[in-house]
Amino acid sequence: MTLNKPSVIVTRKLPEAVETRMMELFDVRLNADDTPFDREALGNALASCDVLVPTLTDTLDGDLLSASGISARLISNFGNGTDHIDVVAAQTAGIAVTNTPDVLTEDTADMAMALIVAVPRRLVEGARIIKEDRFTGWSPTHMLGRRMSGKRLGIIGMGRIGFAVAKRARGFGMTAHYHNRHRLLPEIEQEVEATYWESLDQMLARMDVISIHCPHTPATFHLLSERRLKLLKEDAYIVNVARGEIVDEDALIRMLETGALAGAALDVFEHEPAVNPKLLALDNVTLLPHMGSATIEGRVAMGEKVIINIKAFVDGHRPPDRVLPS
């Protein structure tokens, strides 16, 4: 595909610097008011552009991608995860898919580490007490949390983000453990002194904190099922900055309500953007609105990747971040 100025449709509002550069390079239609596209709008966009730039809020399933009249030849996703895109259907329809890997590693790892500290130390609970004017003074047993040093951190998915979390955890005196589809090379394990567990079940039963960093795929849906959640110690904590669907949220809530689990920190939710009211009623959870990668630097870097992928594709080259069916 070789075009001087391809037509590009962007489904959500992007950082100003990214949109400005897109306007210079492409015949671009932006989303100034940031209203999410509904299914009809996505179908119309696919039928009227060369390149679609969606985000994780846009579900591009097989029915949509196999419809007649599609003119888009590239889906340049603004984001790393592509579980909202049927990549197989896109390939069948002759549409290439790209993403924006690597640029959000440090930002997401920072947020994960912040949550790993926040829940055991009850930071949000403490802030709420101040805000609600319920602080009556210090006492030896007031707001007791858990020390980080010496605790075992179990990482599910030791990719770039999981590894970056392990590096941060060492600074807090935690020991890193991980479960992966494939074991890391010994020299990589040694860099963070990480222990590999072939059995996820065995790792879960022995950890103080579980941090989730695997992608959402059919194989990882409810990876932390009710059965697996029950393997955790009563004084353990769960942190999820990956995808909400990886955890059986209803089972998690029941365990948090009954004290079968000490606490949880969630930046993502199973039915996002809906948040289960039962979670909101709990004191032993920290809830964030999917902001794990939300830094100015990260979003601009994502936009730069999108632009590079589009430029490479329209110039007839293989985009550097091509996503192929797994």
For residue 90, what is the domain's CATH number? 3.40.50.720
**324 in any annotated domain:** no
Residue 19 forms part of a structural domain: yes
Residues 218-263: pLDDT tens digits? 999 999 999 999 999 999 999 999 999 999 999 999 999 999 999 9
The residues, ordered by sequence, that sit 6+ positions from 261 with a Cβ below 8 Å of its Cβ are 229, 232, 234, 236, 237, 238, 252, 255
Which sign, positive or negative, has the C-alpha torsion 297, 110, 325, 247?
negative
Which of the following is catalytic: 243, 245, 249, 299? 243
Secondary structure class of 60 (helix, strand, coil): strand
User: Is there a single domain that holds both residue 81 and residue 149?
Assistant: no
Contact 60, 38 (CB under 8 A): no
**Are residues 246 and 205 part of one domain?**
yes
Burial 33-49 (b: 16+ CB within 10 A, else e): eeeebeeeebbebbeeb
Domain match, 72 and 139 both:
no
Same domain, 229 and 280: yes
C-alpha R_g of the chain: 22
Does residue 167 belong to any structural domain of this protein? yes
Task: Find residue 53's DSSP bridge partners.
Answer: 10
Annotated catalytic residue, options 206, 272, 304, 322: 272
Q: Which residues contact 226 (CB under 8 A, 6 or more apart)?
A: 248, 251
Same structural domain for residues 181 and 213? yes
Same domain, 13 and 51: yes
pLDDT digits (tens, 9 = 90+) for 162-213: 999 999 999 999 999 999 999 999 999 999 999 999 999 999 999 999 999 9
For residue 319, tell me if it sits in a domain: no
Whether 132 sits among the annotated catalytic residues: the reply is no
- pLDDT-derived band of residue 1, with 50, 70 and 90 as boundaries? low
Same domain, 226 and 302: no
* Digit-coded pLDDT (tens) for 261-309: 999 999 999 999 999 999 999 999 999 999 999 999 999 999 999 999 9
111 in a structural domain: yes
Owning domain of residue 39: 7-103+295-314
Residues 205 and 138 in one domain: yes
* Same domain, yes or no: 40 and 153: no
Task: List the one residue out of 28, 27, 37, 34 whose CA is nearest residue 4.
Answer: 27
**Are 54 and 188 within one domain?**
no
Same domain flag for 131 and 222: yes
Shared domain check, 131 and 15: no
Residue 2 is assigned to a structural domain of this protein: no
User: For the chain, how many structural domains are there in total?
Assistant: 2
Q: Evaluate whether 207 touches 154 at the Cβ level (below 8 Å).
A: yes
Among residues 146, 206, 290, 322, the one annotated as catalytic is 290
- Give me the pLDDT at residue 4, please: 74
Active-site annotation holds for 272: yes
Q: Is residue 322 part of a domain?
A: no
Q: Does some domain include residue 146? A: yes
